[in-house]
Structure 1
Amino acid sequence: MKFIRQTFESFRFAWQALRSNLLRTMLSLLGVTIGIFAIIAVFTLVDSLERNIKESLSFIGDKVVYVQKWPWSFGGEYQWWKYFQRPEPTYKEYKFLKEKLENAQAVVAMDFKGRVTVKNGNNSMAALIQGTTLDYNVISDVPVEQGRYFTQQEIDVARNVAIIGSDVAENVFPGQDPIGKTFKISGLNFTVIGVQRKKGESILNVGGNPDIKCLIPYGSFAKMFHSINPSIDIAIKGYDTDEGLLELESEIRGLLRTRRGVRPLQDDNFAINRPEAAAQAISGIFAVLTVAGWVIGGFSILIGGFGIANIMFVSVKERTNIIGIQKSLGAKNYVILFQFLFEAVLLSLVGGLVGILLVYLLTFMSLGSLVLQLTAANIALGLGVSSVIGILSGIIPAFSAARLDPVIAIRAK
Structure 2
Amino acid sequence: MIGAMLAEALQALASNRMRTFLTTLGMVIGVAAVIVMLAVGSGVQQSIRDSIESMGSNLFIVLAGSASSGGVRLGGGNASTLTLADAEAIGEQPSVRAVAPLAFGNAQLVYGSYNWGTQIYGTTQGYLDVRNWSLLSGTMFGDSDVRSAGRVAVIGTTVAAQLFGLEDPVGKTIRINGGPYTVLGLLSSKGQSFDGRDQDDTVLIPITTAQRKLFGSRFRGSLRMIMVQSASEAAMPQTELEVTSLLMERHRIGAGQEPDFSMSNLTAVAETAAATARIMSLLLGAIASISLIVGGIGIMNIMLVSVTERTREIGIRVAIGARPQDVLLQFLLESVALALLGGLIGVLLGFVGSELVRRIADIPVIVSSGSVVLAFAVSASVGVFFGWYPARKAARLEPIEALRYH
Give the TM-score of the pair, scaled to structure 2: 0.83
Q: Judge conservation of contact 1:53–1:202 (CA < 8 Å) in 2.
A: no
Aligned to 1:397: 390
**1:67 Cα deviation from its structure 2 partner:** 0.8
Aligned to 2:53: 58
Matched, 1:212 2:204: no
Matched, 1:127 2:118: yes
Q: Which one is further off, 40-49 or 307-316?
A: 40-49
**CA offsets 1:9-41 (integer angstroms, 9 cap, x no match):** 333333333333232223223333444444443
Q: Judge conservation of contact 2:40–2:363 (CA < 8 Å) in 1.
A: no
Aligned to 1:373: 366
Question: Distance between the aligned counterparts of 2:369 and 2:307, measured in 1?
Answer: 36
Residues 227 and 25 (structure 1), Cα distance of their counterparts in 2 relative to 1, 3 Å cut = same
**1:252 Cα deviation from its structure 2 partner:** 0.9
Aligned to 2:238: 247
Residues 93 and 341 (structure 1), Cα distance of their counterparts in 2 relative to 1, 3 Å cut = same
Equivalent residue in structure 1 for 2:135, among 144, 156, 159 = 144
Question: Distance between the aligned counterparts of 1:132 and 1:39, measured in 2?
Answer: 47
Partner of 1:198, secondary structure, is coil
**1:407 Cα deviation from its structure 2 partner:** 6.2
Question: Distance between the aligned counterparts of 1:188 and 1:13, measured in 2?
Answer: 85
Equivalent residue in structure 2 for 1:89, among 71, 77, 82 = 82
Q: Which one is further off, 251-260 or 182-191?
A: 182-191
Partner of 1:210, secondary structure, is coil
Alignment of 1:10-409 (within 5 A): 10-69=5-64, 88-99=81-92, 101-114=93-106, 116-201=107-192, 204-205=195-196, 208-228=197-217, 230-240=222-232, 243=234, 245-283=236-274, 285-286=276-277, 289-290=280-281, 292-326=283-317, 333-360=324-351, 361-365=353-357, 366=359, 370-404=363-397, 409=402
- Report the number of matched residues: 395
Q: Judge conservation of contact 1:202–1:370 (CA < 8 Å) in 2.
A: no
**CA offsets 1:329-365 (integer angstroms, 9 cap, x no match):** 6656555434322332232234344444444324333
Q: Judge conservation of contact 1:33–1:352 (CA < 8 Å) in 2.
A: yes
Identity %: 29
Partner of 1:363, secondary structure, is helix
Residues 221 and 12 (structure 1), Cα distance of their counterparts in 2 relative to 1, 3 Å cut = farther
**1:66 Cα deviation from its structure 2 partner:** 1.2
Q: Which one is further off, 317-326 or 393-402?
A: 317-326
Amino acid paired to 2:201: I
**1:156 Cα deviation from its structure 2 partner:** 4.3
Q: Judge conservation of contact 1:132–1:218 (CA < 8 Å) in 2.
A: yes
**1:290 Cα deviation from its structure 2 partner:** 4.0
Give the TM-score of the pair, scaled to structure 1: 0.82
- Cα RMSD between the aligned structures? 3.2
Aligned to 1:77: none
Residues 294 and 375 (structure 1), Cα distance of their counterparts in 2 relative to 1, 3 Å cut = closer
Partner of 1:191, secondary structure, is strand
Question: Distance between the aligned counterparts of 2:121 and 2:56, measured in 1?
Answer: 16
Aligned to 1:75: none
Question: Distance between the aligned counterparts of 2:381 and 2:74, measured in 1?
Answer: 55
**Structure 2: segments with no counterpart, 5+ residues:** 67-72
Amino acid paired to 2:366: Q
Q: Judge conservation of contact 1:11–1:338 (CA < 8 Å) in 2.
A: no
